Amino acid sequence: MKFPRTYTLKEIAQITENEYVGSDDFPVKGINEIHVVEPGDVVFVDHPKYFDKALNSAATVVLINKNVKCPEGKALLISDDPFRDFNKLSVFFKPFQSSSHSISSTAIIGNNTIIQPNTFIGNNVTIGDNCLIHPNVSIYDNCIIGNNVTIHAGTVLGSDAFYYKNRDTGFDKLISCGRVVIKDNVDIGANCTIDKGVTGDTTIGEGTKLDNLIQIAHDTVIGKKCLIASLTAVAGCTIIEDEVTIWGQCGIVSGITIGKKAVLMAQSGVSKSIEGGKVYWGSPVTELRNRQRELIAIKKLPELLKKMK
């Protein structure tokens, strides 16, 4: 998430109420999570295990719970609770704005786009030309929808990331200030849910088609011309490359990559990155022919055990 203008380190430190290491006028342009940081971004880190990764990332401001040596050309915000203070920035720059109308007056809606009744369109949403948004759809603030997009009834774009810190006092939510970005020529079925990015974008690539009741979690990036069948769940921060086909009821964990033109047979479960251009099946997945061999072998197993006795 980029700020509306470049802030100074001093201004940011006043918002977060942190001590800082760096010049008062060190430029700060936005906040981001570690996997999408760019120069000018604040990143947060609160566990020594990840200190080096954060300090060596592209982010130039590190919100950290230890006064470590500041890397050359960077700045630090020193906090006793970086998670809490990162949330302060999200709330300051993207405060939740309630809506008094079903379609916000700040939404920009293109030519020849049809919005059916009972659909909610939040603040600062942009929808392109020739789109068809069916009834009872909910599009949260700041979502971006391209041209020639169809969204079926009951689908939700921009709900919060399911991302919590487990504290003694209960689960503390990492506040989402990212967006959902739907590219041109995408179709989304009925009653799907696509969460916004925590700070970045959850993206559905050009020409991709989603069936009904599909869950796409925060910060996941789906490529071009993918087909995803119903009741599939893709967890957060995962990359699905172009032309991937996913049949129904598959589950894909967070933070992995599904290679280009991979095919997942129905009810597969994917827990590690997999290469493109292959067909996979099972939970956890293996290549289709391996899974088929396993299934044949399992069928013979009861007889085999009987003989061995």
Q: Which of residues 213-252 bind a second copy (CB under 8 A)?
A: 213, 215, 217, 225, 227, 229-231, 233, 235, 248-249, 251
Nearer to a second copy among residue 8 and residue 254 (C-beta): 254
8 binds a second copy (CB under 8 A): no
Q: Which of 10, 173, 260, 278 touches a second copy by CB under 8 A?
A: 173
Nearer to a second copy among residue 3 and residue 120 (C-beta): 120
Q: Which of 118, 255, 273, 277 touches a second copy by CB under 8 A?
A: 118
Question: What is the three-state SS of 122-145?
Answer: CCCCEECCCCEECCCCEECCCCEE
Stretch of 48-56, 67-75, 78-86, 133-141 lying at the interface with a second copy (CB under 8 A): 133-141
∠ Cα 249 198 154 (to 5°): 45
Q: How far is the CB of 91 from a second copy (least distance, A)?
A: 13
266 binds a second copy (CB under 8 A): yes
Position 195, amino acid: D
Cβ neighbours around 110 below 10 Å, total: 16
276 binds a second copy (CB under 8 A): no
Q: Which of 189, 200, 205, 223 touches a second copy by CB under 8 A?
A: 189
Stretch of 23-31, 82-90, 174-182, 263-271 lying at the interface with a second copy (CB under 8 A): 263-271
**In the β-sheet with 19-21, what is the strand arrangement from edge to edge?**
2-8, 27-31, 41-45, 61-64, 75-78, 19-21
Stretch of 5-13, 60-68, 71-79, 127-135 lying at the interface with a second copy (CB under 8 A): 127-135
Q: Which of 79, 138, 202, 203 touches a second copy by CB under 8 A?
A: 138
Q: How far is the CB of 266 from a second copy (least distance, A)?
A: 5
> Are 25 and 99 contacting, i.e. CB atoms less than 8 angstroms apart?
no
Q: ω into residue 27 within 30 of 0, thus cis?
A: no
Nearer to a second copy among residue 31 and residue 131 (C-beta): 131
Catalogue the active-site residues: 218
Assigned token pair, 28: 């700060």
> Are 10 and 25 contacting, i.e. CB atoms less than 8 angstroms apart?
yes
Q: How far is the CB of 267 from a second copy (least distance, A)?
A: 5
Q: Which residue, 86, 13, 92, is CA-closest to 54?
A: 86
Q: Which residue, 129, 105, 260, is CA-closest to 184?
A: 129
Q: Which of 207, 237, 280, 285 touches a second copy by CB under 8 A?
A: 207
Q: Which residue, 63, 71, 67, 74, is CA-closest to 13?
A: 63
Stretch of 16-24, 43-51, 80-88, 150-158 lying at the interface with a second copy (CB under 8 A): 150-158
Query: CA 40 to CA 5: how far, in whole Å?
Result: 11
